[in-house]
Amino acid sequence: MSTAFEGDLIRPLGLITLYCAYAEGEVDELLLAMSSLEPFDDSRRQWPVGQKLAHAEGLIRRLNRDDQLGALLSAITEARALFERRNSLIHGRLYAGGRLMSNRSSVPESRVTPEELNAFAESVFTCKERLFVHRCRDLQSAIANHRAERDA
């Protein structure tokens, strides 16, 4: 095996994998922050990230605070799209030169560059940061307001 990677697709794929792991960890933290609404137990921790995101969105909508949590919902929507893209990159067949073939016969072959992969990795990291900020800044007060209204 050569030590020179053609177009160096390997390193950006590593960043994508690492940053997606961080992002999924943040999704887990989001669900843990809402565990007073519904427990986030070990069986739910094993869900695929898409299912976790759908569950988080459902819990947030139950709070009925779209004005306060709209940016968090937007970040969740973005995360879903990013994880779908991650799946196509990681689970597809990526060949030298950036040729990407899907495992689905209906999806045409495409090409990716190391620069595109790096930009995608940065998008995942940025989305993870948005989830974190909105969880810390907006979610806790929305849950507190929800509890206060429920208990009143």
Mean model confidence pLDDT for the chain: 91
DSSP 108: P
Q: Is the pTM of this model over 0.95?
A: no
Per-residue pLDDT reduced to its tens digit, 84-136: 999 999 888 888 888 888 888 888 889 999 999 999 999 999 999 999 999 99
How far, CA to CA in Å, does 25 sit from each of 5, 30, 44, 116, 124? 30, 9, 13, 24, 12
Q: What are the extents of the domains in the chain?
A: 6-151
Task: Quote the tokens at residue 32.
Answer: 């843990």
In this prediction, residue 6 carries a pLDDT of: 52
